[in-house]
């Protein structure tokens, strides 16, 4: 892509003047600076958002965002795991450049580096971060912050502020939304704002709000076609530990807590999430789960039947947590509308990565396969900022390195030359920029680690994907034709029919490793 058209080096005041003038022009009719609300959830699959995929549930409030804004249909992450994804978000750089490679076993995020919230602050914005942070070091670049420790808790969570840690009563998705609205109520009205609202939901172990406990209990979900994948020709996929059948825990993940069900992980829910509940919350919880446990014990399931029962429970619990998320997004949107803020605020919805809803038999993420490489991305701009038709699906490939350049551009600020993403503003405005990127680059680092996904990097174009699993005990290449094999079941790396494609994809991979300056392996 011709970056010079979209990026502006810092410090060149004449160019800066041009950018601001261009942005003023873009914002013709908008008499106020643009506010930014970036809502990010955790592990929210596009499969469970009805504007992307209507098979499982309805998400009317997310659908509204898509209807009134744009839906990115080819939206990807660079490294499908929480901390790294968040570091990419704030820096606009791949993991090997921002230094935060993995959740576990790496270094804390270096908060002294350049981030978009700091640049917005310098440009006159007030900035805030509420919810999951997960970068170990204390947040920098925020005038206001209130974060969950690590992964946080669903019920009666602790929050960390500059003053220390305190516990609050309630369900985490409601509390984070309340805090977001409260921040907006008490903000400095003389300045534009940027609020990052980072939910815990819908992270494992998918605990719903008490008011949603009974939802989805009467629904049965179709088993994904690849649920019983045999992983032939894919050694890394064969050796993971994220299988619903083998690794999803009955007590911990699926809440079948009973003295007769003994699991390695039971302790952590009994003395973790369940222990945090008040007696009233626990009574409501047990009123739904106790009968489910009794029915499960009476059924005496095993083998395939048990695995398919686990899939159904997983889907129900997950979708209940999504329901609360969607309701809370509705609540926030109502507030923004009531306050007239939708007229000068960009509202973004994204997840830190995608997630498996039983495809390949899995939960979790990490792999460069489609379900976890992709991530939902919806953006709603006020009318005066866009001449594009609303409710469009954008097909161009975008990545989470692009968010920081997008926010800076919309704020009328220059995008530093060392940011590796590009602004999505042309796409938001309905343009089809010539020379848009024709491939994305991916690199996952966390091995050894939970779920046992090998380190790998790769390239994806609109049709093909090349992946290299490397390190420790593996050196395996995979090549997929996404057109004939969208489920990525057939590794064609050694197929002579794809020899030319393989050569081209290797060249593309080398080009991207060079462009992004990734020599880590």
Q: Report the interface residues with ligand SGN, using CB under 6 A.
A: 42-43, 81-82, 103, 134, 151, 203-205, 352, 364, 450-451
Complex with ligand SGN: residue 319 or 509, whichever CB lies closer: 319
Looking at the Cβ atoms of 59 and 82, the one nearer to Ca ion is 82
Instruction: Let me know: does 61 contact 376? Beta carbons within 8 Å.
Output: no
DSSP conformation letters of 144-187:
EEEEESTT--SBS-EEEETTEEEE--SBHHHHHHHHHHHHHHTS
Q: Minimum Å distance from CB 78 to Ca ion?
A: 14
Which one, 132 or 437, has the nearer CB to ligand SGN?
Answer: 132
Q: Tell me the per-residue interface mask from 310 to 349 with Ca ion, x by CB under 5 A, - otherwise.
A: ----------------------------------------
- In sequence order, the 6+-apart residues with CB closer than 8 A to the CB of 369 are 237, 360, 488
Residue 415 · residue 23 · CB < 8 Å: no
Least distance (Å) between residue 84 CB and ligand SGN: 8
d(C-alpha 140, C-alpha 115), whole Å: 9
Q: Is residue 43 involved in binding Ca ion (CB under 5 A)?
A: yes
Helix and strand numbers (H, E) in the chain are 15, 16
Name which of 83 and 458 has its Cβ closer to ligand SGN.
83
CB of 82 to Ca ion, least distance (A): 4
CB closer to ligand SGN out of 66 and 81 = 81
Residue 265 C-beta: closest distance to ligand SGN, Å: 7
Kindly give the residue spans of alpha helices, DSSP state H, lying in 27-80.
Answer: 60-68
**What CA–CA distance (Å, rounded) separates 371 from 504?**
24
- Residues 175 and 6: their CA atoms lie apart, in Å, by 38
**Closest distance between ligand SGN and the C-beta of residue 166, in Å?**
22
What residues from 384 to 403 belong to the interface with Ca ion (CB under 5 A)?
none
**Shorter beta-carbon distance to Ca ion: residue 351 or 491:** 351
DSSP code, position 434:
T
Please give the sequence-ordered ranges of beta strands (E in DSSP) within 34-142, or none if there are none: 35-41, 70-72, 75-76, 126-132
Q: How far is the CB of 197 from Ca ion (least distance, A)?
A: 15
Choose between 91 and 103: whose C-beta lies nearer to ligand SGN.
Answer: 103
Task: Find the shortest distance in angstroms from Cβ 194 to Ca ion.
Answer: 22
Q: How far is the CB of 153 from ligand SGN (least distance, A)?
A: 11
Nearest-angstrom CA–CA distance, 265 and 259: 13
Q: Which is nearer to ligand SGN, 153 or 344 (CB)?
A: 153
Minimum distance between the CB of residue 203 and ligand SGN, rounded to whole angstroms? 6
Q: Are 357 and 224 in contact (CB under 8 A)?
A: yes
Is the previous residue joined to 202 through a cis bond, with omega within 30 degrees of 0? yes
- The one of ligand SGN, Ca ion, none whose footprint includes residue 273, by CB under 5 to 8 A per kind, is none
How many residues touch Ca ion under the rule CB under 5 A: the total is 4
Binding mask 50-89 for Ca ion (x = CB under 5 A): --------------------------------x-------
CB 129 within 8 A of CB 117: yes
**CB atoms < 10 A from the CB of 271, how many?**
10
Q: How far is the CB of 173 from ligand SGN (least distance, A)?
A: 16
**205 touches which of Ca ion, ligand SGN, none (CB within 5 to 8 A by kind)?**
ligand SGN
- Is the Cβ of residue 44 or residue 437 nearer to ligand SGN in the bound state? 44
By CB under 5 A, is residue 446 in contact with Ca ion? no
Q: Which is nearer to ligand SGN, 94 or 203 (CB)?
A: 203
364 binds, among ligand SGN, Ca ion, none (CB under 5 to 8 A by kind): ligand SGN
Closest CA to 377 of 344, 399, 361: 399
- Nearer to ligand SGN among residue 158 and residue 481 (C-beta): 158
Q: Binding mask 347-386 vs Ca ion (x if CB under 5 A, - otherwise)?
A: -----x----------------------------------
Nearer to ligand SGN, 271 or 432 (CB): 271
Give the number of other CB atoms < 10 A from CB of residue 438: 11
- What minimum distance in Å lies between the beta carbon of 511 and ligand SGN? 29
Between CA 308 and CA 446 the distance in angstroms is: 29
**Cα 493 to the chain's mean position, in Å?**
29
| Dist. CA 301–CA 246, nearest whole Å | 14
Measured from each CB, the residue nearest to ligand SGN is: 82
> Min. distance of Cβ 243 from ligand SGN in angstroms?
12
Residues in 223-262 at the binding interface with Ca ion, rule: CB under 5 A: none
103 binds, among Ca ion, ligand SGN, none (CB under 5 to 8 A by kind): ligand SGN
Q: Which of 19, 38, 42, 176 binds Ca ion (CB under 5 A)?
A: 42
Q: 461-500 as b/e, with b when 16 or more CB fall inside 10 Å?
A: beebbbbbbbeeeeebbbbbbeeeeebbbebbbeeeebee
Q: How many angstroms separate the CA atoms of 232 and 234, rounded?
A: 6
Q: What angle do CA 385, 73, 349 make, to 5 degrees?
A: 55
Query: Where do contacts with Ca ion occur on this chain (CB under 5 A)?
Result: 42-43, 82, 352
């Amino acid at each position: 892509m011709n970056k010079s058209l979209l990026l502006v080096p810092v410090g060149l005041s004449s160019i800066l003047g041009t950018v601001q003038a261009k942005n003023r022009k873009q914002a013709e009719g908008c008499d106020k600076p643009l506010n930014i609300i970036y809502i990010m959830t955790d592990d929210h699959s596009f499969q469970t958002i009805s504007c992307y995929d209507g098979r499982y549930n309805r998400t009317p409030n997310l659908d509204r965002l898509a209807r009134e804004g744009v839906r990115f249909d080819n939206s990807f992450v660079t490294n499908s795991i929480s901390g790294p994804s968040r570091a990419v978000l704030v820096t606009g750089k791949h993991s090997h450049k921002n230094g935060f490679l993995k959740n576990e076993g790496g270094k804390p995020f270096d908060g002294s580096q350049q981030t978009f919230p700091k640049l917005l602050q310098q440009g006159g914005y007030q900035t805030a971060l509420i919810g999951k942070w997960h970068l170990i070091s204390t947040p920098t670049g925020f005038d206001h912050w209130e974060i969950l420790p690590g992964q946080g808790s669903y019920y009666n969570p602790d929050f960390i502020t500059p003053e220390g840690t305190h516990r609050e009563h309630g369900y985490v998705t409601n509390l984070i939304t309340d805090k977001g609205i409260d921040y907006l109520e008490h903000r400095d009205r003389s300045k534009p704002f940027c609020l990052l609202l980072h939910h815990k939901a819908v992270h494992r172990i998918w605990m719903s709000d008490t008011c949603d406990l009974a939802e989805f209990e009467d629904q049965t979900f179709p088993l994904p076609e690849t649920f019983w994948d045999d992983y032939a020709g894919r050694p890394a996929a064969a050796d993971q530990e994220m299988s619903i059948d083998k690794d999803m825990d009955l007590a911990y993940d699926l809440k079948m807590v009973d003295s007769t069900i003994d699991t390695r992980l039971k302790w952590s829910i009994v003395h973790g999430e369940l222990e945090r509940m008040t007696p009233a919350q626990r009574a409501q919880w047990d009123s739904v789960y106790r009968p489910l446990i009794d029915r499960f014990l009476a059924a005496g399931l095993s083998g395939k039947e048990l695995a398919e029962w686990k899939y159904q429970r997983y889907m129900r619990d997950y979708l209940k947590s999504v329901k609360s998320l969607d309701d809370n997004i509705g609540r926030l949107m109502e507030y923004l509308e009531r306050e007239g803020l939708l007229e000068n605020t960009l509202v973004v919805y994204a997840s830190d990565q995608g997630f498996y809803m039983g495809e390949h038999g899995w939960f979790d993420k990490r792999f460069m396969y489609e379900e976890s490489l992709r991530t939902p991305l919806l953006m709603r701009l006020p009318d005066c900022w866009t001449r594009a038709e609303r409710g469009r699906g954008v097909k161009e490939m975008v990545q989470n390195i692009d968010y920081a350049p997008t926010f800076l551009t919309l704020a009328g600020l220059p995008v530093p030359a060392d940011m590796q993403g590009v602004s999505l503003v042309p796409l938001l405005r309905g343009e089809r920029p010539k020379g848009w990127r024709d491939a994305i680059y991916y690199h996952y680092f966390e091995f050894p680690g939970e779920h046992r996904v090998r380190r790998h990097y790769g390239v994806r174009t609109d049709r093909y994907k090349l992946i290299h699993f490397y390190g420790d005990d593996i050196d395996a290449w995979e090549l997929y034709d996404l057109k004939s094999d969208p489920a990525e079941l057939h590794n064609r790396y050694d197929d002579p029919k794809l020899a030319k494609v393989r050569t081209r994809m290797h060249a593309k991979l080398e080009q991207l490793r060079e462009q992004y300056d990734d020599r880590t392996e």
